[in-house]
Structure formats: C-alpha cells, structure tokens
Structure 1
Amino acid sequence: MKVGLSLFKKPLDTINLNNIRVYAYHGCLPEETKIGSDYKVDISVDANLDISAESDELSDTVDYVHLNKIVKEEMAIASKLLEHVAKRILDRIFAELEIVKKAKVKVAKLNPPLGGDVEDVNITLSKKRG
C-alpha cells in the first residue's frame, strides 16, 4: 500500500513577539486605573508560512507591526482583569489576520500592588481557529 504525503499534516510555523512594553491602566483597585502601571505582553501566533518563505512578500505572512498595533490599542482600553485584555487581543488577531490558526497571549503586570516584592503577575490565554 502506497502512503501519500497528503496523509501527513505539516506542523504550523510560529511567529513570536516578546516583551512588548506598555504603560496602561488596568486593575480592580481605583488607584490602579488612575496611576497606571508597566505591563509586558508576549504573543505567539501559528500559521503556515510556506508561501511567505518563498515569496518574500509581507502580504503573504503575519505582519508584526499589525500584531503590535493590536496590542497597543487593546492595552489602552482599561480593564479590571488581565484576562479580559488578553481575550480582546486574541479576538482581534483572529478577526483581522485570517492566516493565523492558533495564538497565545501572555499579559504581565510588572510590580503589582500585592503588598510584597513580586516581579510580575501574568496570565496566558490561547485560542485556536475553528
């Protein structure tokens, strides 16, 4: 029996944007939404990059500038929870970038007001198309 290559699914390729730094106004405490804080966002998106690897054309891939713009715009909208911000970022990625099949967003609040010496608190959300 001859096995065709179509039976083997090629794994998706990955693009990562790490340490996107943003000053924003998220939190449940009133002072957090007034004073603001430093945040760090990491994004990982999975897509088939075979075409762009051959064509060398931006239109055939995931535009890093577009991803960064989504993060900056969504982080500028105050939320109580980091989960809410991350979900909005994921929703926009999937609405605006059809090539993306999977994505993961990590949002970290640096030096959170927890009454102790904590470097950051972070959450990670993932989403898959279909």
Structure 2
Amino acid sequence: MGKISLQGLEFFAYHGFHDEEQKIGNRYEVDITVETNFDQAAEDDLLEHTVDYGQLYYLVQEEMQKTTRLLERLTARIAERTLQKWTVINSVEVSVSKLNPPLGGLCKKAKVTLQKSRNA
C-alpha cells in the first residue's frame, strides 16, 4: 500500500454554524490523504493505474463550494465521495481547518479530521 496526499489546499468558502459566517465567508485549508496500491503505476508509469490527484483536488473543490454548517459534515462528505469515486482507495483521511475562526480571541485555526476506511 502507498499513500497519496494533497496538503494545504486553500479555499474561500461559506461554511459555519452561524448564519453570519455563511454570509461573510472565511478561508479554509484542506489536507487529504488516500491509501491505495499503486504498485502497477510505479512499474508502468501510467496515470490510469493510480489516483489522479488533479481529479482529487477537483472533488475537494466541488465539496468546498457547497455551504455546510459543520466542518464535521464537510469532512464526511469529502471522505464519502472520495471512496465512492475511486474503488481502489482503501482509506482516506481528510482534515478541514477554518483559518482565524471567530472565537472572540486569537486562534490560528479550528481543525476537524476524519479517517474513513472502505471496510468500516
């Protein structure tokens, strides 16, 4: 098994529990790691034998555009769609961070992480 990761994906989106957050928007950072067998791609150098991380980025981008109240739901949607799209993926780990969340004090980011396996 191997891992493919995209780290530090940045988006401006309209997520948040409070209506005001959904109107104003905020900056978000996403990290995603998938576990898959890419032995064949390592041998034959063909994209169709691995997970195309350009398409993985596009999937995350699509989900980030859908307004969501909770980061927990957002991470679950990204994980579920990833496992549905690529049957060769055994597990996925997704982290979504809201940068400078409105907490009334200094906080660089609020982060939610979900790991989901195909067998679980």
TM exceeding 0.5: yes
| Structure 2 SS opposite 1:101 | strand
Say whether residues 1:20 and 2:21 are aligned partners.
Answer: no
Aligned-residue sequence identity (percent) comes to 43
Any stretches of 5+ residues in structure 2 without a counterpart? none
Superposition pairs for residues 1-130 of structure 1, below 5 Å? Answer: 12-130=1-119
Bigger Rg, structure 1 or 2: 1
Structure 1 residue 63: deviation in Å?
0.5
Q: Which amino acid aligns with 1:110?
A: L
Q: Which amino acid aligns with 1:79?
A: T
Q: Which amino acid aligns with 2:47?
A: L
More strand by share: 2
Q: Deviations over 1:35-68 (max 9, x none)?
A: 1000000001000110000110110001101110
Partners of 1:87 and 1:28 in 2: CA distance? 16
TM-score, L = length of structure 2:
0.97
Runs of at least 4 residues of structure 1 off by over 2 A? Answer: none
CA RMSD of aligned residues (A): 0.6
Any stretches of 5+ residues in structure 1 without a counterpart? 1-11
